[in-house]
Chains A and B, each alone.
Chain A
């Protein structure tokens, strides 16, 4: 009985244990038995094969080299690419030479001015035989100039058909192997690396200069609308995106609370501009947004973005999928201030550099093609996509960004610690002995160049200095002063007139300042431009005022790159102007540097006594009785040539830290600057 009871309890315990075991173990076994998902939540992953090491390689040993080679293939079908349809052998030597077909009939005023602008550029040639690119302008819809096939057509080889406005006339001849540069081509017809995508310009786009970007400050104003949407008839409205509904999607239209329409604007005032729909409207709005500094958000564009071959649009616009509106909106709302800041600024830079005028668009097109020809010595992506842009950073100058004055920060480099003094000796032709000694005394001076530019014979002896001294025989032209002489080996140039008078301290301090601002001009004497209401034009004054916009190049530091730019990128008309009116050359150089940097020059202290005594303020060469200002219309002529007024005023002067401070002179590094 007892044993039975004991056995009973034992059995009970046993079966209970069994039950537990089955329950617990069963689960575990079940989990083990189901291979695809051993545990919910844990991903299984690709299996680690036991024999992974034994697997064969995808290319059996020796197969790759054994590949039988086939002879070169003929160009595929009718389509073209750069290698197959462009003959670069004609483009040897000094880069791209462009021949423009003369118009066959009467042409519009715009067409005429565009022609003139290309003819004035460094790309132009008058001989179709010597040209590497033959340009067929197709600008206006009305005139019939595009109906006839040009003479040197040659199946369109090495031709560029440039259409600023879409399809002005029906195709009357086959384009063949010609490249097409047209406004916002569709993605399907565009041949990447061969065709060029242009921006879609409005009819009244300025030819030269152009309106500057609208952005007045770096960061978006507080309270500015997040999103601007396109409206009928070319306007914009801003949308309140506070609610989570998608403000542009038709499905949300029923909800009146989700959007708030504000007054129509011709240019959008918002952080982001939503651009959907098809070209040409979308392409036109894209350009408006760019000018307004409103970050374009493109929803699945079916057209190629302008100059997409060289411009990195991811830095200035957002291309998103129209099928994910909520995600896009969320992404815009959550975008970091750093990214918004960068995108906004990039829109303005791109607008100013490549789009604000017809001339810029055409030059950019030619520059894109020239880059293809140049291959390795083309502009790098950095040069295209950061200020001042590829039109102002000539790739013929150098292929290394650190040689330019603009990219030291991005490159982590510094400008060289030495300078070359370039002394221009005009009439009457006294060797500037004192000046040479003062400059040679600077610890930063690397070499002295004397540009001898007058009737007198070269003096036989020059002062003894430790500095290497080179004499260049000039031709008497004022623009020679800014020629990129190969003998200049340093980044910095101290441009001097033989009659300038400087002390070694002044030179030293100015150079140290220049090293902080290598892209600007650092000068001693200044002048200003002003708007002359009475004459309805620009005026010029060299009087001492509380602000200045130019420094005189008779004593100024600047980067040697500006010599290259002056000689190779300025239109011929302007350089001729400088040669004919020598006093204009200062103004011209200041215009050039200001147009590139979009910043005023820098003034450093200059002993005022000598300032009065020396004729330094007179600028330019030639014996003159008194300090003489450039011809008043000089500023106006140059401003017309640039198409706008790039000069900016500054109200400050950079002095040594302890300049004229009430502390012992012994503590001061540039104490001779303070001598009365």
Chain B
């Protein structure tokens, strides 16, 4: 064992001088004791982190030294696989009931060597790949060493390749596992099922209710929603480094590189080659290789020798025909080469088909249509082919590349079945990183025009400008669709005016007092907000007419996923300074609306408060500025859409102010606002704002039409 830890001899001997003849004896004894103490102390108080990062606590042993288990010839054999098994019938979900974070816990049995009555081994103890697989599980978050807390059990009995084991005895070995219980919650990994002559498509070892992660299932043996179809790992993945090759046309249109194909298939393929000439390449084993050349890394066409798997990168489509088994390791090589697999294997369940969308990465052709394969492939548009090439490579990188990738994808699939409410989505499984990055999934994607009857909640952020606040309240209360008014009182040093002093309005008026004077209080998702539409309005915006506000609400109803606001602003790229600039001049474009007066969906309050990226929220509160720009960034980023500016430009604050919109022209103000844009763009990692050239006006705005017949006559006038 590991007891042979070597202690360093250190430290001076502190034995008092003695005149006796036993001196040497005492000194020796004492030093031994002291050294022992020091060493023990060091061992005891050594920082644990160092200890655990070392491999001290992991056994260093050889596979040959594992305990031997003798299986009596009459030990029980499990039932054959139960084809009717489903998660809710054969899987004991109670074992997974107490797992935190919606993650199943997986236990791995200790490795043993099984022999029969005569001492003959049942199988190879463990293969390199199965060892890698168990190591990957053990290193993952799924792993537990506590058998009592485990939800899933993985035997260390290696059944990856059925040909390397004795079926009956392996089954007996499974049956004597300590928690076997008819195989409930046990997971077996098998990549090469069946054996001659009939090559069954699932592992022949009787396994009762155990889940099977198998490579090469057919529709007849695969228990949908119970078994997991996995790839047949190609050892070439680790050996050969094929750099990613961009999508696009390649030298060969179609290539077949499998050896040992059934003669019927080979005839069909060769007929294709004759018919279509150069663009089809059918390869076979090389017969005339010199000594020492690895034959599995070469393929030949007549006397031409090609490197395998490099040659796959020269083809757009690669044939993956079934051999005796449905699952073929070549599928992995083909995907690695970014070649689109043409799968010709009737009833084959493609790897991870429960979650992977193979239509995006492969072409499945029925065996009887093999002679038409060329025309079928030719009908696929070039753009789709390139998409498939990219997708094929992405599948390999994410799910085929290593044993670890295969093991973790398998466990994730089982995990998703047990905790469906925490499952990974289709997009997360299937979209390559580039697509995930570029795409936007609008949280309000359903085209829906909310009913007018719902109305909106006006939220006024105020500090101490009571007089102006009361004017705003009075003005806003005239808007027909207003359903509630919320005043966010941001002043902790002063109490809001008494109830009797507030303007009497027809809708409920609530005052919320905040704990701290923060700008983000304006965007807090208060429980008092009962409508979907929110009007954020500053306590000095007194010039908006009732018509303008009502019209703004109508516009929001048609665009409920956007910011719909009055004063518009623009961001511009400053070529001299090489950074973004804030613009409030009369421009032909808008990309932001100020939230001093804007309608938006209340969901964005939730996003602003809880999902704002990076430190933007704190930054805004610290600078007491730019909360509106932050909101514009947030909404544009999550919806991918531009703002809607409503109604013509006008002064929204006091009419006597000289500058347009008050302090907007102030130079330092502009600099600060530009800083905000640059800061936010760097936090978002992109510039999400969208520039548009339109604004929304009532249908008959400024038309030659009787004013009294217009729905919103009082618009834009000062």
Contact = CB atoms under 8 A, between A and B. Distances in A.
B270 interface: no
B191 interface: yes
Interface stretch (B243-251, B362-370, B494-502, B612-620): B362-370
A35 B693 contact: no
Interface stretch (B158-166, B516-524, B627-635): B158-166
A653 B696 contact: yes
B52 A45 contact: no
Contacts of B3: 29, 32-33
Contact of A38 (B57, B426, B438): B57
Contact of A657 (B134, B588, B639): B588
B261 interface: yes
A116 interface: no
B130 A544 contact: no
Contact of A25 (B40, B145, B158): B40
A341 B260 contact: no
Contacts of B515: none
A68 B33 contact: no
A345 interface: yes
B135 interface: yes
Given A32-B5, A657-B645, A58 B143 contact: no
B262 A650 contact: no
Interface string B402-441: 0000000000000000111111011000100001011111
Given A50-B61, A52-B131, A218 B560 contact: yes
Interface in A63-84: 63-73, 76-77, 79, 81, 83-84
Given A81-B219, A657-B645, A65 B693 contact: no
B444 A218 contact: yes
A331 B418 CA distance: 12
Given A68-B323, A335-B421, 20 more contacts: A14-B33, A21-B37, A24-B41, A42-B52, A46-B108, A48-B58, A56-B124, A58-B164, A64-B328, A68-B324, A73-B346, A187-B225, A215-B446, A217-B448, A378-B359, A509-B693, A546-B711, A655-B696, A657-B695, A658-B586
Interface in A615-668: 648, 650-661, 663, 667-668
Contact of B367 (A35, A70, A83, A216): A83
A43 B143 CA distance: 9
Contacts of B56: 38
Interface in B11-66: 18, 20, 26, 29-30, 33-34, 36-37, 39-41, 43-44, 48, 52, 55-64
Interface stretch (B74-82, B192-200, B274-282): B192-200
A331 B2 contact: no
A375 B693 CA distance: 43
- The interface centre, meaning the residue of A3, A51, A58, A312 with most chain B CB atoms within 10 A of its CB, is A58
A171 interface: no
A46 B446 CA distance: 49
Contacts of B96: 324
| Chain A interface main SS type | loop
Nearest to A34: B1
Which bracket fits the contact residues of B?
A: 35 or more
Nearest to A299: B88
Interface in B301-359: 323-325, 328-329, 346-347, 357, 359
A320 interface: yes
A25 B87 CA distance: 50
B697 interface: yes
A17 interface: yes
A561 interface: no
Contacts of B188: none
A652 B554 contact: yes
B241 interface: no
Contact of B62 (A44, A49, A83): A49
Contact of B420 (A51, A58, A320, A376): A320
A600 B558 contact: yes
Interface stretch (A197-205, A407-415, A440-448, A461-469): A407-415
Interface of A: 3, 6, 10, 14, 17-18, 20-21, 24-25, 28-29, 32-33, 35, 37-39, 42-52, 55-59, 61-73, 76-77, 79, 81, 83-84, 88-89, 187-188, 192-193, 215-219, 221-223, 300, 302, 312, 314-315, 318-324, 327-328, 331-332, 335, 337-338, 341-342, 345, 348-349, 375-378, 380-381, 385-387, 398-400, 409-412, 509, 512-513, 516, 526, 544-548, 597-600, 603-604, 608, 648, 650-661, 663, 667-670
B421 A320 contact: yes
A400 B435 CA distance: 14
12 contacts: A17-B37, A67-B324, A76-B347, A217-B532, A323-B93, A324-B93, A412-B440, A546-B709, A546-B711, A548-B699, A651-B558, A668-B588
A656 B693 contact: yes
A572 B649 CA distance: 49
B33 A18 contact: yes
B442 interface: yes
Contact of A387 (B446, B558, B694): B446
B214 interface: no
A65 B285 contact: yes
The 3 A-B pairs of least Cβ separation, nearest first, read A412-B438, A69-B262, A46-B138
A349 B447 CA distance: 9
Contact of B695 (A33, A300, A608, A659): A659
A597 to B, nearest CB: 6
A33 B439 CA distance: 56
Contacts of A67: 260, 323-325
A322 B88 contact: yes
A606 B383 CA distance: 39
A673 B94 CA distance: 71
Contacts of B448: 215-218, 345, 348, 598
B583 interface: no
Given A17-B34, A56-B124, A660 B1 contact: no
Contacts of A55: 63, 126-128, 131
Contact of B696 (A61, A302, A376, A652): A652
Contacts of A57: 127-129, 235
A348 to B, nearest CB: 6
B649 A20 contact: no
Given A28-B43, A55-B131, A57-B127, A667 B57 contact: no
A608 B441 CA distance: 40
Interface stretch (B114-122, B374-382, B674-682): B374-382
Contacts of A21: 33, 36-37, 40
Nearest to B324: A67
B685 interface: no
Nearest to A413: B438
A655 B701 contact: yes
Contacts of A377: 379-380
Contacts of B48: 39
Given A341-B603, A377-B379, A608 B450 contact: no
Contact of B421 (A58, A84, A219, A331): A331
A57 B403 CA distance: 12
B324 A69 contact: yes
Given A324-B97, A546-B710, A399 B60 contact: no
A338 B426 contact: no
B367, B379, B700, most chain A CB atoms within 10 A? B700
Contacts of A88: 366, 369
B699 A545 contact: yes
A71 B324 CA distance: 8
Given A315-B426, A323-B88, A387 B705 contact: no
Contacts of A349: 445-446
Contact of A20 (B37, B144, B422, B449): B37
A32 B44 CA distance: 12
Nearest to B87: A321
Nearest to B127: A58
Contacts of B381: 398-400
A652 B20 contact: no
A608 B704 contact: yes
